[in-house]
Chain A
Amino acid sequence: MMLDLLVIGAGLTGLMAALRAAEAGLRVKVIAKGMGALYWTPGTIDILGYLGAEERAVQRPWERIHELPERHPYRIVGVERAQEAIEWFRIRTAELGLDYGGRRDGDNALTPSPVGAWRPSYLLPAGQRAGDAEDGRPMVIVGFQGMRDFYPHLIARNLEAQGQAARAAVLPWSVLSERRDRNTVQLAEALDEPKTQQRLIDALRLVVKPGERIGLPAILGREAHSWVLTALTQELNAAVFEIATLPPSVPGIRLATALRRCLEERGVRVEIGMEAIGFHAQDGVIELVETATSARPLKHRAKAFLLATGGVLGGGFDSNPSGRFWETIFDLPLTTPQDRRRWFRPLFLDPRGHPALRGGVAVNDAFQPIDVAGNVVYTNLWAAGGLLAHADPIAERSLEGVAIASAVAAVEAIKLGSFAHA
Chain B
Amino acid sequence: MAPVSWHSVDLTLDECIKCNICTSHCPVSAVTDLFPGPKYVGPQAQRFRKGGQLRSPDHSVDYCSGCRVCNEVCPTGVRIAELNARARAQIVAEKGLPLRNRLLGRNELLGKLGSFAPALANFALHNTFSRFMAEKVMGIAREAPLPTWSTSGTFRDWLKRTRDQRLKSHKKVVYFHGCATMYYEPFIGKAAVVVLEHNGYEVLVPEQNCCGLPLLSNGEFDAARTYHRNNVSRLAGYARAGLPIVGTSTSCTLTLKEEAPELLDYHDEPATTLKLGTYDIFEWLRELYEAGELRTDFQPLPLKLPYHAPCQQRAHRIGKPALELMALIPELELAESHARCCGIAGTYGYKVEKYQIAMDVGAELFEFVKAQGQDARYTACDSETCRWQLEHGTALPSRHPIEILAAAYGLYDLERRDVVAEKR
The answer to whether B73 and A272 touch across the interface, beta carbons within 8 angstroms, is yes
In the complex, B37 has a CB within 8 A of chain A: yes
Stretch at the interface among B74-82, B166-174, B224-232: B74-82
Mark interface residues in A210-228 (1 if CB within 8 Å of B CB, else 0): 0000000000000000000
In the complex, A39 has a CB within 8 A of chain B: yes
The answer to whether A36 and B75 touch across the interface, beta carbons within 8 angstroms, is yes
Q: A295-B258, A296-B276, A298-B317 are in contact. Are A39 and B77 (CB under 8 A)?
A: no
In the complex, B86 has a CB within 8 A of chain A: no
CA distance A298 to B318 in the complex (A): 7
In the complex, A248 has a CB within 8 A of chain B: yes
The answer to whether A181 and B33 touch across the interface, beta carbons within 8 angstroms, is yes
Contacts of A294 in B (CB 8 A): 254, 257-258, 315-318
The answer to whether B21 and A39 touch across the interface, beta carbons within 8 angstroms, is yes
Partner pick for A183 among B37, B72, B76, B257, CB 8 A cutoff? B37
In the complex, A304 has a CB within 8 A of chain B: no
In the complex, A384 has a CB within 8 A of chain B: no
The answer to whether A291 and B20 touch across the interface, beta carbons within 8 angstroms, is no
Contacts of A253 in B (CB 8 A): 24
Q: A35-B25, A315-B76 are in contact. Are A295 and B278 (CB under 8 A)?
A: yes
Contacts of B316 in A (CB 8 A): 293-295
Contacts of A36 in B (CB 8 A): 75
CA distance A315 to B37 in the complex (A): 23
Contacts of B33 in A (CB 8 A): 179-181
Q: A181-B33, A294-B257, A295-B275 are in contact. Are A273 and B24 (CB under 8 A)?
A: no
Contacts of B36 in A (CB 8 A): 181
Q: Chain B nearest CB: distance from A402 CB in Å?
A: 19
The answer to whether A291 and B317 touch across the interface, beta carbons within 8 angstroms, is yes
Q: A273-B314, A294-B254, A298-B319 are in contact. Are A40 and B24 (CB under 8 A)?
A: no
Among B33, B36, B71, B254, the most chain A Cβ lie within 10 Å of the Cβ of B33
User: How many A residues, CB 8 Å from partner?
Assistant: 35
Q: Chain B nearest CB: distance from A209 CB in Å?
A: 34
CA distance A36 to B76 in the complex (A): 10
In the complex, B19 has a CB within 8 A of chain A: yes
Among A34, A274, A275, A292, the most chain B Cβ lie within 10 Å of the Cβ of A34
Mark interface residues in B186-197 (1 if CB within 8 Å of A CB, else 0): 000000000000
In the complex, B30 has a CB within 8 A of chain A: yes
Contacts of A274 in B (CB 8 A): 317, 319
Partner pick for A35 among B75, B254, B257, CB 8 A cutoff? B75
**53-91 of chain A: CB within 8 A of chain B:** none
CA distance A34 to B22 in the complex (A): 10
CA distance A236 to B412 in the complex (A): 62
Contacts of A269 in B (CB 8 A): 319
CA distance A184 to B19 in the complex (A): 12
Contacts of A35 in B (CB 8 A): 21, 25, 73, 75
CA distance A37 to B276 in the complex (A): 33
Mark interface residues in B252-280 (1 if CB within 8 Å of A CB, else 0): 00100110000000000000000110110
CA distance A180 to B32 in the complex (A): 9
Q: A40-B19, A181-B33 are in contact. Are A271 and B76 (CB under 8 A)?
A: no
Q: Chain A nearest CB: distance from B8 CB in Å?
A: 13
In the complex, B115 has a CB within 8 A of chain A: no
**16-41 of chain B: CB within 8 A of chain A:** 17, 19-21, 23-25, 30, 33, 36-37
In the complex, A33 has a CB within 8 A of chain B: yes
CA distance A271 to B321 in the complex (A): 12
Contacts of A295 in B (CB 8 A): 257-258, 275-276, 278-279, 316
The answer to whether A186 and B75 touch across the interface, beta carbons within 8 angstroms, is no
Additional 9 contacts, C-beta under 8 A, given A291-B317, A292-B317:
A36-B75, A39-B21, A183-B37, A184-B24, A248-B20, A272-B73, A273-B317, A295-B257, A314-B75
Identify 9 residue pairs between A and B in the complex whose beta-carbon atoms are under 8 Å apart, listed by A's number.
A34-B75, A35-B75, A181-B36, A248-B19, A271-B319, A294-B254, A295-B258, A295-B279, A313-B17
Closest 3 CB pairs of A and B: A34-B75, A185-B24, A294-B258
